[in-house]
Amino acid sequence: MRPEPEGGRVREERVRDETTLRSDAQRNRERILDVALAELTRAADAPLSAIAKKAGVGQGTFYRNFPNREALVLEVYRYEMQQVADTAAQLLQTRAPDRALREWMDRLAQYAMAKAGLADALRNATSTYGSLAQLGHDPVTRAVTLLLHANEEAGTIRPGLTSDDFLLAIAGLWHLDPRSDWQPPATRLLDLVMDGLRAGAPGAGGSATVGPEAAVGPEAADGPEAADGPPADRPGAGRT
């Protein structure tokens, strides 16, 4: 067997080192985002130095990823909204379409209430607050469209509904006070919306009845809780 050229080994080691560095960089970035979400939700003016310290990264690493507060806050918001949207496909893999839709609605409400404090950080840090709706709206709209399409194909909701119809129907969520006992009214609202979606459905009945185990609340989700439209844009968001 011919010995491997020295240059080949060097290239392999370089590729391996670069892959390790990319993995480490990705982990650092995700750790910063996780810590930033918790800290900014708790206090909109949380110091960036404190976020970097809690994330276990140096100032240089932190600022290479996020050169300023606005960049960090916008990425936290985008990252969280994408997580919310991704749960739609995950639920459809393991549940009937109408059950997936109803559970996603619960996660939406839970996320919106839990992350209301992030609205203050967005307002304080960004000069592009007016464009935030689009930043969070696009992935959520795609998730709603996916869920509605799956349910329409299954015959569990009335045909012809759009994501705009759905978001308008649940708009009452954004008027709930996250400091209050918001779970019961949220559950009643979402049950009413689900009943309305089912009205005129070609299929018979549905499986998305809500019992105590499915009610909106801290125990409603076992993954990233979802929020519909950007929680920053609803009336009263950011109240503590």
- Per-residue CA distances from 228 to 19, 88, 142, 168, 196 (Å): 36, 11, 11, 10, 18
Rounded CA gap, 76 and 60, in Å? Answer: 19
Mean pLDDT of the chain: 80
**Higher-pLDDT residue of 9, 160:** 160
Predicted local distance difference test score (pLDDT) of residue 101 = 98
Q: Could you tell me the end-to-end alpha-carbon distance of the chain, in angstroms, rounded to an integer?
A: 71
In 3D space, the residue among 181, 162, 182, 163 whose CA is nearest the CA of residue 172 turns out to be: 182
Q: For tokens 């950011």, what's the residue?
A: 238
Predicted local distance difference test score (pLDDT) of residue 13 = 56
pTM: 0.66
Q: In this predicted model, what pLDDT tens digit does every residue of 70-106 receive, in sequence order? A: 899 888 888 888 888 899 999 999 999 999 999 999 9
Predicted local distance difference test score (pLDDT) of residue 6 = 58
Q: Which CATH class is domain 69-233?
A: mainly alpha
Q: Check pLDDT > 90 for residue 132.
A: no
Burial class (CB in 10 A: 0-12, 13-18, 19+), 153: exposed
Percent of the chain past pLDDT 70, that is, above it, reads 71
Predicted local distance difference test score (pLDDT) of residue 60 = 94
Q: For tokens 């010995």, what's the residue?
A: 3
Predicted local distance difference test score (pLDDT) of residue 192 = 97
Q: In this predicted model, what pLDDT tens digit does every residue of 198-238 receive, in sequence order? A: 999 997 554 554 443 445 554 444 443 433 444 554 444 44
CA 83 to chain CA mean position, Å: 4
- Mean pLDDT computed over 101-130: 79
**Higher-pLDDT residue of 40, 19:** 40
